[in-house]
A and B are shown apart, each in its own frame.
Chain A
Amino acid sequence: MSFPKAVSQEAMNAYNKAKKQIEAAVVERAMKDKKDIVQHGDKAEDILRSGISFTSEIMASAMTVGEPGLLKDQIEWSKSRLVHDGVDQEQIKKRFQYFIQEIERQLPQDYSTQIVPFFDWMIRNYSKV
């Protein structure tokens, strides 16, 4: 379960600068998915926005220090907690895929190639942890 190295300060700054737009685009993509909306009802957009923002902050922390323990803990937490909130695990992986697509679209390649492996790690290891 190899883990990516901490990203450069420049890549981190670029992510932090763009993260609001990245998060908004991920929410927009998720809102188009009926499965993501139906389980949250009328509050789908608010719930998604807050969940995506939380995910983004956690990922930023892991990128800053390159520590797998932080993400393993979040996977364990989400598996035990989000099931009670009606969130499907496949939907979670799909949202990480949306993040990857938006990071690659919105950030220069020098930075996205450092950042994307963290989201990719989450997708690959979600079921294993």
Chain B
Amino acid sequence: MGSQTTPHKYSKEYLEHLLNADRNAAANLVFEAIDNGVGIKDIYMDIFQASQHEVGRLWQNNEISVAQEHFCSAATQMIMSQLYPKIFNSEKNGLRLVATCVGGELHEIGLRMVTDFFEMEGWDTYYLGANTPIESILSTIETYKADVLAISTSMTFHIEKTRALIKEIKDSDVGKDTLILVGGRPFNLAQDLWKKVNADAFASDAMQAISVMEKQLSVN
């Protein structure tokens, strides 16, 4: 294993550990990758994201159960949290991001990854996760003077709610100047969908989210 130097070489073995319900082996593999010089962002993109996509595909083809799918997601989130000492030590750039899932959305891991990427880039991030009431989203935007609100929508049937949420935020005094970034599977399926829900920007993954928002805010 010591000869492996690129993250994609770890991704297959990582997924195998998860599917065997061996969370510790999966975690140890990630730590080994870090020791071998693989960057945290590469671990997120090529191990965590790649394995989550594969888990989704396996579930869709009825090759794994819902319980296995949930275990894999929970295990990856647990392993991600063990990396936080390496993530939450970036020099700050003065920008702030609030991140939330649209109401009823239970798939949080993609948004968690996006939020962590912003944190690594020096943003102050406020991750609200799933099922946050609109009042709480607005009060968080106000309290932390958020530059950007990231909204994650994984399930197609939440598009209507996403559009309604964006309308409420843009109609409010507190949120009218906050840039709204959307992401999630439905937006990857339909190129202009983000415009139809009146978002300000869209990103297909965590890496793109950073570049899109930096461009919008003319950072650098």
- A-side interface residues toward B, CB under 8 Å? 6, 12, 54, 57-58, 60-62, 64-70, 72-74, 77, 80-81, 84-85
| Closest chain A CB from B65 CB (angstroms) | 12
Q: Among the listed A57, A74, A84, which residue makes an inter-chain contact with B61, where contact means beta carbons less than 8 Å apart?
A: A84
Known: A54-B157, A65-B197. A70 touches B163 (CB 8 A): no
From A73, A80, A85, B156 is in contact (CB under 8 Å) with A73
Which B residues, 166 to 220, have Cβ-Cβ distances below 8 Å to chain A? 186, 189-193, 196-197
Query: What secondary structure prevails in chain B residues at the interface with A?
Result: helix
Cα-based distance from A64 to B192 in the complex (angstroms): 14
In the complex, which of the residues A54, A61, A74, A80 contacts B159, with contact meaning CB atoms closer than 8 Å? A61
Interface pairs (18), CB distance under 8 Å: A12-B160, A60-B160, A61-B157, A62-B156, A64-B160, A65-B163, A65-B190, A66-B196, A67-B189, A67-B190, A68-B190, A69-B190, A70-B159, A70-B189, A72-B189, A74-B156, A81-B60, A81-B61
Closest to B160 in A: A64
- Contact between chains at A70 and B60 (CB < 8 Å): no
CA distance A74 to B130 in the complex (A): 23
Which 6 residue pairs spanning A and B have beta carbons closest together? A57-B157, A69-B190, A84-B62, A61-B159, A67-B190, A69-B189
- Across chains A and B, the number of contacting residue pairs, with CB separation under 8 Å, is 54
17 further contact pairs, Cβ within 8 A, besides A66-B196, A69-B189, A81-B60: A12-B160, A58-B156, A61-B157, A61-B159, A61-B160, A61-B186, A62-B156, A65-B163, A65-B197, A67-B189, A69-B190, A70-B156, A70-B186, A70-B190, A73-B156, A74-B156, A85-B62
- Are A80 and B61 in contact (CB-based, < 8 A)? yes
Name the contact of B189 in the complex, choosing from A54, A66, A73 (C-beta under 8 A): A73
A66 to B196, CA, bound (A): 9
Residues on the B chain within 8 Å of A6, using CB = 196
B159: A residues at CB distance < 8 A: 61, 64-65, 70
For the complex, is B8 an interface residue (Cβ under 8 Å from A)? no
Q: Which of A54, A58, A64 has the most CB of B within 10 A?
A: A64
- Give A67 to B186 CA distance when docked, in angstroms: 10
Whether A67 lies near B196 (C-beta < 8 A) is yes
Please, which residues of chain B bring their CB within 8 A of the CB of A80?
Answer: 60-61
Enumerate chain A residues within 8 angstroms of B17, measured Cβ to Cβ.
none
List the A residue with the shortest CB-CB distance to B189: A69
Query: Smallest CB–CB gap between A82 and chain B, Å?
Result: 10
Contact residues in A for B41 (Cβ distance below 8 Å): none
- Bound: A18/B2 CA distance, A: 61
Residues of A close to B189: CB separation below 8 A: 67, 69-70, 72-73
Residues of B within 8 A of A64 (CB): 159-160, 163
Contact of A61 with B158 in the complex, beta carbons under 8 Å: yes
Residues of B within 8 A of A61 (CB): 156-160, 186
Residues of A within 8 A of B192 (CB): 67
Which residue of the partner chain, among A60, A69, A72, A74, contacts B193 with CB atoms under 8 Å?
A: A69
Chain B residues with Cβ under 8 A from A57's Cβ?
157
Report the bound CA distance from A84 to B196 in whole Å. Answer: 34
How distant is the Cα of A70 from the Cα of B192 in the complex, in angstroms? 12
With a CB–CB cut-off of 8 A, which chain A residues contact B160? 12, 60-61, 64
